[in-house]
Structure 1
Amino acid sequence: MKHFTLSLALAACLTLPAGVSAQSGETLDLTEAQMEELVRRSYQYVAMFNVNQKGALDPDNPQNTGGYNRVKPNTELADHTLRVIARPNNDTLYTVAMIDVTEEPVVLEIPAFDSTYVSLMVTAYDHYVNIPMSTTKGDFDEPANILFFSERTPGYAGEPVEGVDMIVETTGDFVSAVFRIMPHAAEPERLERNLAAMRSVDVEPLSEFLGQGGDKAHVRSWGSPRVVGRNLDLRADTARFPPYGSDFEIFEDRFIEVMQFVANHTTFDPNDALDAGLLAVLEPLGIQPGKPFDPDTAPEIDGDELRAVAQRVATEELAKFGDQDFLDNNLTGLFQPKGQISLERQVFQSVSGPIGQPADQALYPAILTEDGVPMNAMHDYEIVMTAEEMPPVNAFWSATLYENETGFFIPNDRFKYSVGENAGFKLDDDGGIRIVIAAEQPEGVPEENWLPINLEDMDLDIIMRLYAPDLERYESWSAPIARKLN
Structure 2
Amino acid sequence: MFNVNNTFALDPDNPMTTGGYNRTFASTELADHTLQAIARPNNDTLYTIALIDVTEEPVVLKMPAFDSTYVSLMVTAYDHYVNIPMSTTKGDFSEPATMLFYSERTPGYDGALVEGVDMIVETTGDFVSAVFRVMPHAAEPERLERNLAAMRRVDVEPLSEFLGRGDQEPHVRSWGSPRGISRNLDLREDSARFPPHGSDFEVFEDRFIEVMQFVVNHTTFDPEDALDAGLLAVLEPLGIAPGNTYDPDTAPEIDGDALRAVAQRVAAEELAKFGDQAFLDENLTGLFQPKGQITLEAQTFQSVAGPVGQPADQALYPAILTEDGAPMNALHDYEIVMTAEELPPVNAFWSATLYENETGFFIPNDRFKYSVGENAGFKLDEDGGIRIVIAAEQPAGVPEENWLPINRQDMDLDIIMRLYAPDLEKYKSWTPPKANKL
Overall identity of the aligned pairs, in % = 86
- What is the CA distance between 1:84 and its match in structure 2? 1.2
Q: Supply the distance in 2 between the matched residues of 1:61 and 1:289 (Cα, whole angstroms).
A: 30
Letter of the 2:339 partner, please give it: T
Aligned to 2:205: 252
Partner Cα distance (1:470, 1:134) in 2: 15
Report SS of the residue matched to 1:442.
coil
* 2:176 alignment partner in structure 1: none
2:89 alignment partner AA: T
**Does the Cα contact within 8 Å between 1:102 and 1:238 map onto a contact in 2?**
no
Which residue among 110, 114, 121 is the counterpart of 1:168? Answer: 121
Aligned AA (1:262): V
Q: Secondary structure at the match of 2:198?
A: coil
Select 2:338's aligned residue among 368, 382, 385. 385
Question: 1:406 is matched with which residue: 345, 359, 367?
Answer: 359
Instruction: Give the counterpart letter for 1:68 in structure 2.
Output: Y
Residue type matched to 1:170 in 2?
Answer: T
The reply to whether residue 357 of structure 1 matches residue 303 of structure 2 is no
Q: Give CA deviations for 1:389-424 in whole Å, capped at 9, x if unaligned.
A: 000000000000001111100000000000000000
Match of 1:164, SS state, is: coil
Q: Please show how residues 143-292 of structure 1 align to structure 2 within 5 Å.
A: 143-214=96-167, 240-292=193-245
TM-score (norm 2): 0.94
- 1:205 partner letter: P
Residue type at the aligned position of 2:37: V
Stretches of 4+ moved more than 3 A in 1? 236-239
Q: Which residue identity does 1:52 align to in structure 2?
A: N
Q: Distance in 1 between matches of 2:133 and 2:335?
A: 29
Q: Deviations over 1:332-391 (max 9, x none)?
A: 000000000011100100000121000000000000000111111111000000000000
Q: Deviations over 1:41-83 (max 9, x none)?
A: xxxxxxx000000010011110010000000000000000011
Instruction: Tell me what 1:307 maps to.
Output: 260
Q: Quick one: distance in 2 between partners of 1:319 and 1:296? A: 39
Listed one character per residue, the Cα deviations across residues 128-156 of structure 1 (whole Å, up to 9, x for unaligned) are 00000000000000000000000000000
Inter-CA distance 436–287: structure 2 relative to 1 (3 Å threshold): same
> Are residues 1:373 and 2:326 paired?
yes
* 1:450 match: 403
2:20–2:190 CA contact under 8 A, matched in 1: no
1:214: Cα distance to partner?
3.6
3-state DSSP class of the match of 2:120? Answer: strand
Determine if contact 1:52/1:176 at 8 Å carries over to the other structure.
yes
For structure 1, which runs of at least 5 residues remain unmatched after alignment?
1-47, 216-235
> What CA distance in whole angstroms lies between the structure 2 residues aligned with 1:238 and 1:89?
27
Residue in structure 1 matched with residue 374 of structure 2 by the alignment: 421
Shift of 1:239: 5.6
Is 2:89 the partner of 1:121?
no
Give the Cα separation in 2 of the matches to 1:77 and 1:95: 11
| In structure 2, distance between residues paired with 1:455 and 1:386 | 29
The 3-state SS of whatever aligns with 2:436 is strand
SS in 2 for 1:167: strand
Corresponding residue for 2:4? 51
Q: Could you tell me how far apart the structure 2 residues matched to 1:405 and 1:274 are? A: 27
The residue type equivalent to 1:331 in the other structure is: L
Q: Distance in 2 between matches of 1:277 and 1:238?
A: 30
Aligned to 1:62: 15
SS of alignment partner, residue 16 of structure 2: coil
Q: Choose the corresponding residue for 1:136, options 68, 89, 92.
A: 89
Higher helix share: 1
**Displacement of 1:213:** 2.7
TM-score by length of 1: 0.85
Deviation of the 1:300 alpha carbon: 1.3
Distance 2:2 2:74 in 1: 16
Q: Say how many residue pairs are matched.
A: 419
